[in-house]
Amino acid sequence: MAIADDQLQSERSDAVLLEAITANNDMLALQQLFDRYRQQLFQTALGITRDQQLAEEVLQDCFYRLYRHATKLDGSIPLAPWLYRVTVNLCYSRIKRQRPWYEPFHQLAERLKASSRSAPDVVAERREMQDVVRQTLERLSPQHRAVLVLHYFHDYSLTEIAEILECPEGTIKSRLFYARKILKEQLYQAAIEGEPLIDGISF
């Protein structure tokens, strides 16, 4: 019975969990939402801030805000876009307040590690590509990186990103176009444009 109860708890929808927080101050429901979204939101924050500690702070603050504003959220509307919006805005605030946006982008570069192939020439080529990507991303503003992270790491469409970031879809298209242009130029300069930069990206 305990196992069945645990499974039922894990299968509760976002709307049900949100209602539990609102009606019963259910901390278990908040924890379930945290467990459900923590990885995606952390990677988003890490991709924008380029700082693991800042990303952790953003993640904690995001769910604190979820707890504080749960009564104002409409359970009939998907929760994920709201969480991403809060995460991105918190990233912008912390970058502006604490540190310059052009600091080294170590963490996201790690996310672009070599595939399972381990031949020395392949590893060397991948490392060279990672260096180019890291250097290029350092040239991009947090706003441009946010679009890249949401689109390529979380598979959001441009329309969905526009809703999350609360800006016109044309602006999102422009940011993505600019970011891809910079990446492509850097890859050409390094003469390593022969394979996708990140899985799913092509030029």
Arithmetic mean of pLDDT, 116-135:
59
Task: Find the Cα–Cα–Cα–Cα dihedral 76, 81, 83, 86, rounded to 10°.
Answer: -120
Arithmetic mean of pLDDT, 99-107:
43
CATH 3.40.50.720, applies to 1-99: no
Instruction: Please state, in angstroms and rounded to a whole number, the distance separating the CA atoms of residues 126 and 133.
Output: 10
Contact between 138 and 105 under an 8 Å Cβ cutoff? The reply is yes
| pLDDT at site 161 | 95
pLDDT above 70: percentage of residues in the chain:
67
Among 9-13, 127-131, 176-180, 181-185, the range with the most confident prediction by mean pLDDT is 176-180
Higher-pLDDT residue of 7 and 19 is 19
Specify whether the backbone of 117 is left (phi greater than 0), alpha (psi in -120 to 50) or beta. beta
Instruction: Give the model's confidence band at 171: pLDDT under 50 very low, under 70 low, under 90 confident, else very high.
Output: very high
Instruction: Please state, in angstroms and rounded to a whole number, the distance separating the CA atoms of residues 166 and 2.
Output: 43
Burial class (CB in 10 A: 0-12, 13-18, 19+), 126: middle
Arithmetic mean of pLDDT, 112-139:
59
CATH number for the domain whose boundaries are 104-203: 1.10.10.10
| pLDDT at site 127 | 65
Arithmetic mean of pLDDT, 164-170:
94
- b/e code 59-97 from CB counts within 10 Å (16+ = b): bebbbebbeeebeebeeeeebbbbbbebbbbbbbebbee
Of 143, 130, 154, residue with least CA distance to 178: 143
163 has pLDDT over 80: yes
Instruction: Give the model's confidence band at 57: pLDDT under 50 very low, under 70 low, under 90 confident, else very high.
Output: very high
- The structure tokens listed for 128 are 């060279």
Specify whether the backbone of 191 is left (phi greater than 0), alpha (psi in -120 to 50) or beta. left
Instruction: Please state, in angstroms and rounded to a whole number, the distance separating the CA atoms of residues 197 and 183.
Output: 9
Q: Is the pTM for the entire model greater than 0.85? A: no
114 has pLDDT over 80: no
Q: Where are the domains of the chain?
A: 1-99, 104-203
6 has pLDDT over 90: no
| pLDDT at site 107 | 45
130 has pLDDT over 70: no
The CA-based angle 111-114-115, given to 5 degrees, is 105
Least confident of 52-56, 169-173, 193-197: 193-197
Least confident of 40-49, 67-76, 102-111: 102-111
| pLDDT at site 32 | 96
